[in-house]
């Protein structure tokens, strides 16, 4: 069953390549290379095709009820098990950028955990969530319903750093 | 230096969470839960913020010349070292979906390797690539300049499965 692990490894690799290329595309725009930026965006799009094909082949996409259970489990692992020691070690090592990055993520995964649990409860009852706008803070990822916060309660960013999700 | 590895681990986790949530959002639309789909898209957006913050904190975003070198190295690793044994094992195990997924990715990473090498050469000479449209096949990720192929030379998909990259 090497293939099962190979699919997981390939999904991990394709996922990270996509995120890197999107970051590299933004940097290429800044550096004055718009066509190189476009090439990075194109390859990022291709890595999305690969990541989703691998995820499908490994049975990682199920119905929404099962997908929400997987999402709740993933968020729970991140804020309860993964991020607390990462944060403590970054503080011990005096690595301030890492400390901030881990603290923001930890706080936001707890929010996601609660939001996904509410969604799970709704879907278990056979209903969609009520239709409401959702906003995300571009600095820390904080995820809120209805309206942007005047001052992000996770990172302190101002209101216009929130993005309305389509 | 645990933090260095922790950032790499957190980047891997956030990258994969993003890809999963985007796939789950599409599934939620299909299953008739548009607001749950929006929540998945919002959390996916937040995981992008986290992934890029971690990548920045680990020094993974440099100037475009260095970013292209990293991209060439990553694509080379994938098509020369990672995918060939994955493909062989999927064939041995008779896992057809995995075999197709690995074969498509292997072929396309070779294309990306060449495209990134051409970009690297151009940026090393101080120039952007010439402005040209770029298309990506939604079935296999094949990445081509100028126009969609009538029949994708990697996977055989028809012309309208190609997407023009913004
Ligand atoms: Fe790929
Ligand atoms: Fe999350
Ligand atoms: Fe924030
Ligand atoms: Fe996250
Ligand atoms: Fe690639
Ligand atoms: Fe294709």
Residue A123 has its nearest CB partner, among B33, B34, B63, at B33
Considering the domain architecture, whether residues A44 and A69 belong to the same structural domain is answered as no
pLDDT digits (tens, 9 = 90+) for B89-117: 999 999 999 999 999 999 999 999 999 99
pLDDT surpassing 70 at residue A46:
yes
Average pLDDT (A57-81) is 98
Considering the domain architecture, whether residues A124 and A141 belong to the same structural domain is answered as no
What range does the domain containing A53 cover? 2-57
Considering the domain architecture, whether residues B23 and B39 belong to the same structural domain is answered as yes
The reported pLDDT for the residue numbered B99 is 98
pLDDT surpassing 90 at residue A1:
no
pLDDT surpassing 90 at residue B49:
yes
Considering the domain architecture, whether residues A98 and A71 belong to the same structural domain is answered as yes
Q: What is the ipTM of this complex?
A: 0.97
pLDDT surpassing 80 at residue A144:
yes
* Residue linked to tokens 């993005």: A163
For testing contact with chain A, the best of B141, B143, B147 (most A CBs within 10 A): B141
The reported pLDDT for the residue numbered B21 is 98
The reported pLDDT for the residue numbered A25 is 98
The reported pLDDT for the residue numbered B137 is 98
Considering the domain architecture, whether residues B113 and B154 belong to the same structural domain is answered as no
Considering the domain architecture, whether residues A68 and A97 belong to the same structural domain is answered as yes
Residue A142 sits in a domain of what CATH number? 2.20.28
Average pLDDT (A38-67) is 98
Contact B12 A15 (CB under 8 A): yes
Distance of CA B35 to the CA centre of its chain: 27
Q: Which residues of B touch A51 (CB under 8 A)?
A: 19
Considering the domain architecture, whether residues B108 and B146 belong to the same structural domain is answered as no
Cβ count near B28 (within 10 Å): 26
Contact A42 B132 (CB under 8 A): no
User: Which positions 97-156 of B are in contact with A (Cβ < 8 Å)?
Assistant: 97-98, 100-102, 104-105, 108, 112, 115-116, 119, 122-123, 128-132, 134-143
Considering the domain architecture, whether residues A9 and A35 belong to the same structural domain is answered as yes
Considering the domain architecture, whether residues B82 and B118 belong to the same structural domain is answered as yes
Average pLDDT (A50-67) is 98
Number of domains in chain A: 3
Residue A19 sits in a domain of what CATH number? 1.20.1260.10
Considering the domain architecture, whether residues B33 and B73 belong to the same structural domain is answered as no
pLDDT surpassing 70 at residue B1:
no
Considering the domain architecture, whether residues A71 and A125 belong to the same structural domain is answered as yes
The reported pLDDT for the residue numbered B142 is 98
Q: Which residues of A touch B74 (CB under 8 A)?
A: 17, 20
CA distances from A83 to A92, B14, B107, B161 (A): 14, 12, 37, 40
pLDDT digits (tens, 9 = 90+) for A21-38: 999 999 999 999 999 999
User: Which positions 24-83 of B are in contact with A (Cβ < 8 Å)?
Assistant: 24, 27-28, 31-36, 38-43, 45-58, 60-64, 67-68, 70-71, 74, 78, 82-83
- Cβ-Cβ contacts under 8 Å between A and B: the total is 308
Burial class (CB in 10 A: 0-12, 13-18, 19+), A136: buried
The reported pLDDT for the residue numbered B59 is 97
Average pLDDT score over chain A: 98
pLDDT digits (tens, 9 = 90+) for A76-90: 999 999 999 999 999
Considering the domain architecture, whether residues A139 and A125 belong to the same structural domain is answered as no
Q: Which residues of B touch A95 (CB under 8 A)?
A: 3, 57
The reported pLDDT for the residue numbered A166 is 94
Average pLDDT (A6-16) is 98
CB contact at 8 A, B8 and A104: no
Average pLDDT score over chain B: 98
Residue B145 phi, psi (nearest 5): -85, 160
Cα distance between residue B46 and residue B22, in whole Å: 12
């Amino acid at each position: 069953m090497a293939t099962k692990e190979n699919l997981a490894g390939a999904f991990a690799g394709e996922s990270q390549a996509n995120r890197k290329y999107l970051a590299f595309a933004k940097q290429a725009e800044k550096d004055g290379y718009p066509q190189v930026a476009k090439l990075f965006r194109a390859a990022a799009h291709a890595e999305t095709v690969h990541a989703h094909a691998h995820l499908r082949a490994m049975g990682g996409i199920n119905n929404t009820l099962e997908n929400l259970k997987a999402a709740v489990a993933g968020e729970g692992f991140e804020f309860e098990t993964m991020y607390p020691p990462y944060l403590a070690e970054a503080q011990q090592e005096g690595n301030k950028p890492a400390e901030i990055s881990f603290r923001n993520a930890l706080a936001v995964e707890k929010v996601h955990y609660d939001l996904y649990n509410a969604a799970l409860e709704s879907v278990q009852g056979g209903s969609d969530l009520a239709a409401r706008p959702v906003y995300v803070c571009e600095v820390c990822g904080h995820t809120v319903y209805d309206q942007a916060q005047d001052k992000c309660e996770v990172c302190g960013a101002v209101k216009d750093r929130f993005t309305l999700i389509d």
